[in-house]
């Protein structure tokens, strides 16, 4: 019993350092919450906390822009993209890990190279192209991106699937299962932690993406990321810091909550993919 | 006999073909997706970069290499590139080393490590848009917390999003995500051989020596991978620069202070402020080449030290 206790209290210096770093990194969240509940009349006051907490800021922030509609669009796009990319990345990862084909090595090298190709840099050319095909203002780009899978996720799935023994498929083959059925009935259920990791990463990326919605969607039918970035100004173009703070706080909540809930699987997904 | 082997050979070939078909079937979403969504757009941008297209007119007047000549001789390009590299030189090492150090601390049995891990990683999952807006509120001249703290020391309100100060604000926004790598490093630290760590301790090696000769070699591949990824994403940063600008109107980059005119900000303004699609495309192609060269350099330099540290036989030879 003393062994456990002493082992836990062995690092007072590291504990203190971690505490300091954590407080420093957490303070902006606290400042945001306080600012979000400060009435406009007290913004310029030189005090740490408002004398009157103004909860009305929250409904005001939600009404300043079409918040709920933007949030619905963000959710829709993020879920569609993340769901599609989760499945198709697993499929492709399975192909690279368990199947043979001519040119596989070269294609895997291409996949790795694709992780390096800068995304924003391809986004503007994609915009030029999609505008020629009338895809601007639609959600099709996210369907296409999702179907194509994400290189980093494919890589993680491939590493994960490569670690299983060959007998796994042979047993399924003897039972007369085809490749697709083997994949869906054996490999997919095994990869749940990794699927959570991949879903969380893609969801966060899409929910937080500002550039693609700004380029590919119309300003009145866009995502929350694009909406809050430009919406919190009054008619004279002056920033409304308290409403922006309230709006931003609510905007980051889903991402934070999703991470807190999925944290365990998320961490396990990285570990299980055999990052070495 | 001959017919038998012939039949077998044919059936092997047929099995191979079936395997190959299945392989291509499984990877087809990615293969087609990459062709349509990455290779084709880049090819299109390459074509546009040889024209003086304004993005609207149906004609794309061919100008040959004129755009490239302008990109390479324009002082704006070099100033934007040097600012971008300055951000990289500060942010990439800080994030890589900061995350690694934090992960090493968190890997010990410190009290409250799960809470610490969560808090430290939290800023890294806050989307760049929100991070920029949050700091914009905190750095606001009239109502921000930073100026409030300064006021207690009698310092007059400072404008943090204009002039040269804007660059400091930009760095703060980016360094908030200093813990971005801790999860992946913690996963990597779990793979370090416990026996080797024990052996090092028995041999009387201090924590620093153990880290250099046991831990660092074991995690060096993931360190290299993270460095490359961080380098690429940092090179392309422009959302914080765009959204920190005093006026936050979309696609109007004119309000971004000179200090924050990073390369991608410049690209964005060429397209959406000046409608110079041909010139902007040329800037993109040049940037892709710059990124590829920098990545290759990191792989070259880093790859050598990864190999050097990881291969035990190599070390034996040296002794």
Provide the shortest C-alpha distance from residue A274 to chain B (in Å).
9
**A112 contact B CB<8A:** no
A242 and A117 in a common domain: yes
| Closest chain A residue to B233, measured at CA | A118
Give the tens place of pLDDT for each residue, A219-262.
Answer: 889 999 999 988 888 877 788 889 999 999 999 999 999 888 88
For position B16, what pLDDT does the model report? Answer: 75
**A236 contact B CB<8A:** no
Nearest by CB to A118, from B179, B232, B250: name it. Answer: B232
- The answer on pLDDT for B319 being more than 50 is no
3-state SS class at A164: coil
Nearest by CB to B22, from A179, A208, A256: name it. Answer: A179
For position B56, what pLDDT does the model report? Answer: 85
**Complex confidence, ipTM:** 0.86
Looking at every residue in chain B, the average pLDDT score rounds to: 86
For position B26, what pLDDT does the model report? Answer: 94
Structural domain of A22 = 2-36
Q: Class for domain B67-318, per CATH? A: mainly alpha
Count of residues for chain B? 319
Task: Judge whether A60 lies within some domain.
Answer: no
A232 vs A169, higher pLDDT: A232
C-alpha A61/C-alpha A81 separation (Å) is: 28
Provide the shortest C-alpha distance from residue A221 to chain B (in Å).
14
A77 and A30 in a common domain: no
**A143 contact B CB<8A:** no
Give the tens place of pLDDT for each residue, B108-142.
Answer: 888 888 999 999 999 999 999 999 999 998 998 88
Task: Judge whether A22 lies within some domain.
Answer: yes
A100 and A228 in a common domain: yes
A236 and A172 in a common domain: yes
Inter-chain CB pairs, A–B, below 8 Å? 269
Judged by CB atoms within 8 Å, which residues 32-91 of A form the interface with B? 32, 35, 38, 43-44, 46, 48, 88-89, 91
C-alpha B240/C-alpha B140 separation (Å) is: 15
C-alpha A30/C-alpha A23 separation (Å) is: 10
A126 and A16 in a common domain: no
**A24 contact B CB<8A:** no
CB contact under 8 A, B248 and A117: no
CB contact under 8 A, B284 and A239: no
A113 touches B30 (CB < 8 A): no
A194 and A132 in a common domain: yes
Chain B residues with CB under 8 Å of A248 CB are 130, 133-134, 137
For position A132, what pLDDT does the model report? Answer: 85
Residues 6 or more apart from B37 whose CB is under 8 A from it?
Answer: A122, A126, A144, A145, A148
For position A272, what pLDDT does the model report? Answer: 63
**B133 contact A CB<8A:** yes
- Residue B159 Cα distances to A42, A258, B99, B140, B241, angstroms: 19, 36, 31, 7, 15
HEC assignment per residue over chain B: CHHHHHHHHHHHHHHHHHHHHHHHHHHHHHHHHHHHHHHHHHHHHHHHCCECCCCCCCCCCECCCHHHHHHHHCHHHHHHHHHHHHHHHHHHHHHHHHHHHHHHHHHCCCCCHHHHHHHHHHHHHCCHHHHHHHHHHHCCCCCCHHHHHHHHCCCCCCCCCCCCHHHHHHHHHHHCCCCCCHHHHHHHHHCCCHHHHHHHHHCCCCHHHHHHHHHHHHHHHHHHHHHHHHHHHHHCCCHHHHHHCCCCCCCCHHHCCHHHCCHHHHHHHHHHCCCCHHHHHHHHHHHHHHHHHHHHHHHHHHHHHHHHHHCHHHHHHHC
Task: Judge whether A236 lies within some domain.
Answer: yes
CB contact under 8 A, B142 and A44: yes
C-alpha A183/C-alpha A172 separation (Å) is: 10
**Banded model confidence at residue A126, pLDDT cuts 50, 70, 90:** very high
3-state SS class at A213: helix
| Closest chain A residue to B127, measured at CA | A208
For position A137, what pLDDT does the model report? Answer: 93
**Banded model confidence at residue B279, pLDDT cuts 50, 70, 90:** very high
Residue of A211, A65, A199, A201 whose CA lies nearest to A141 = A211
Give the tens place of pLDDT for each residue, A7-66.
Answer: 445 688 899 999 999 999 999 999 999 999 999 888 877 677 888 899 999 999 999 999
For position B34, what pLDDT does the model report? Answer: 92
First to last CA, chain B: 58
C-alpha A111/C-alpha A113 separation (Å) is: 5
CB contact under 8 A, A118 and B288: yes
Domain ranges of chain B: 1-48, 67-318
**Banded model confidence at residue B287, pLDDT cuts 50, 70, 90:** very high
A104 and A30 in a common domain: no
Provide the shortest C-alpha distance from residue A244 to chain B (in Å).
8
For position A117, what pLDDT does the model report? Answer: 73
Looking at every residue in chain A, the average pLDDT score rounds to: 87
Task: Judge whether A110 lies within some domain.
Answer: yes
- The answer on pLDDT for A3 being more than 60 is no
Provide the shortest C-alpha distance from residue A27 to chain B (in Å).
10
A103 and A205 in a common domain: yes
Give the tens place of pLDDT for each residue, B155-173.
Answer: 888 889 888 999 999 999 9
- The answer on pLDDT for B314 being more than 50 is no
Task: Please state whether the predicted TM-score (pTM) of the whole model is above 0.90.
Answer: no
* B interface test, pick of A239, A245, A255, A261 with most B CB neighbours within 10 Å: A239
Task: Judge whether A123 lies within some domain.
Answer: yes
A98 and A166 in a common domain: yes
**A261 contact B CB<8A:** no
A115 and A7 in a common domain: no
Chain A residues with CB under 8 Å of B222 CB are 275-276
For position B2, what pLDDT does the model report? Answer: 53
CATH number of the domain to which A124 belongs: 1.10.3720.10
CB contact under 8 A, A43 and B143: yes
A73 and A9 in a common domain: no
Nearest by CB to A107, from B27, B136, B235: name it. Answer: B27
Total number of domains in chain A? 2
Provide the shortest C-alpha distance from residue A255 to chain B (in Å).
7
Q: Sign of the C-alpha dihedral, residues A230, A232, A234, A235?
A: positive
Residue of B91, B74, B79, B132 whose CA lies nearest to B259 = B79
| Residue whose entry in the numeric block shows the structure tokens 């077998």 | B8
| Closest chain B residue to A183, measured at CA | B26
Q: What is the mean pLDDT of residues B200-215?
A: 85
- The answer on pLDDT for B144 being more than 50 is yes
CB contact under 8 A, A100 and B34: no
Ranked by mean pLDDT, which of A30-39, A111-120, B66-75, B223-232 comes out on top?
B66-75
A151 and A23 in a common domain: no
Residues 6 or more apart from A7 whose CB is under 8 A from it?
Answer: B109
**B120 contact A CB<8A:** yes
């Amino acid at each position: 019993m003393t062994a456990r206790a002493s082992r836990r209290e062995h690092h007072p210096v590291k504990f203190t350092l971690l505490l300091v770093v954590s407080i420093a990194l957490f303070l902006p969240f606290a400042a945001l919450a306080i600012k979000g509940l400060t009435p406009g009349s007290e913004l310029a006051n030189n005090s740490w906390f408002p004398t009157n907490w103004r909860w009305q800021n929250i409904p005001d922030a939600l009404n300043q822009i079409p918040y709920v509609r933007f949030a619905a669009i963000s959710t829709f796009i993020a879920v569609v993209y993340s769901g599609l990319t989760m499945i198709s990345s697993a499929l492709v990862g399975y192909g690279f890990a368990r199947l043979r084909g001519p040119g596989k090595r070269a294609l895997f090298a291409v996949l790795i190279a694709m992780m390096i190709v800068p995304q924003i840099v391809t986004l503007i050319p994609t915009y030029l192209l999609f505008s020629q095909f009338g895809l601007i203002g639609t959600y099709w780009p996210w369907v296409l991106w999702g179907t194509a899978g994400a290189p980093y996720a494919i890589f993680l799935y491939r590493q994960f699937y490569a670690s299983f023994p060959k007998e796994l498929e042979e047993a399924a083959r003897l039972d007369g299962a085809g490749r697709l059925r083997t994949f869906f009935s054996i490999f997919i259920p095994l990869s749940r932690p990794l699927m959570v990791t991949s879903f969380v990463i893609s969801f966060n990326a899409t929910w937080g993406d500002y550039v693609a919605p700004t380029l590919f969607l119309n300003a009145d039918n866009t995502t929350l990321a694009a909406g809050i970035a430009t919406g919190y100004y009054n008619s004279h173009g002056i920033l409304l810091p308290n409403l922006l703070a309230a709006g931003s706080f609510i905007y980051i909540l889903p991402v934070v909550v999703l991470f807190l809930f999925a944290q365990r699987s998320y961490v396990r997904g990285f570990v299980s993919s055999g990052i070495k | 006999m001959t017919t038998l082997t012939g039949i077998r050979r044919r059936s092997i070939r047929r099995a191979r073909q079936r395997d190959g078909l299945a392989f291509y079937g499984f990877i087809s979403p990615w293969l087609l997706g990459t062709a349509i969504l990455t290779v084709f757009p880049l090819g299109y941008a390459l074509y546009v970069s040889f024209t003086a297209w304004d993005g609207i007119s149906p004609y794309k007047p061919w100008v040959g290499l004129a755009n490239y000549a302008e990109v390479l001789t324009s002082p704006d390009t070099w100033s934007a590139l040097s600012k971008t590299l300055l951000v990289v030189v500060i942010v990439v090492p800080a994030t890589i080393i900061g995350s690694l150090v934090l992960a090493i601390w968190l890997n010990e049995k410190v009290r409250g490590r799960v809470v610490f891990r969560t808090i430290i990683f939290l800023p890294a999952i806050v989307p760049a848009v929100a991070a920029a807006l949050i700091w914009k509120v905190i750095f606001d001249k009239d109502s921000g917390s930073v100026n409030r703290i300064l006021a207690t020391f009698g310092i007059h309100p400072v404008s943090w999003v204009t002039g040269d100060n804007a660059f400091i604000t930009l760095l703060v926004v980016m360094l908030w995500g200093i813990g971005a790598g801790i999860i992946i490093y913690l996963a990597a630290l779990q793979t370090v051989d416990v026996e080797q760590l024990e052996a090092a301790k028995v041999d009387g090696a201090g924590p620093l020596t153990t880290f250099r000769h046991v831990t660092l070699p074991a995690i060096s591949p993931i360190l290299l991978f993270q460095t490359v990824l961080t380098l690429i994403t940092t090179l392309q940063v422009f959302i914080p620069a765009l959204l920190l600008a005093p006026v936050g109107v979309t696609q109007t980059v004119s309000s971004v202070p000179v200090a924050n005119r990073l390369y991608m900000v410049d690209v964005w303004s060429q397209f959406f402020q000046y409608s110079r699609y041909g010139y902007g495309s040329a800037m993109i192609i040049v940037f892709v080449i710059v990124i590829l060269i920098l990545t290759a350099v990191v792989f070259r330099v880093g790859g050598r030290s990864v190999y050097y540290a990881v291969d035990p036989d190599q070390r034996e030879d040296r002794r």
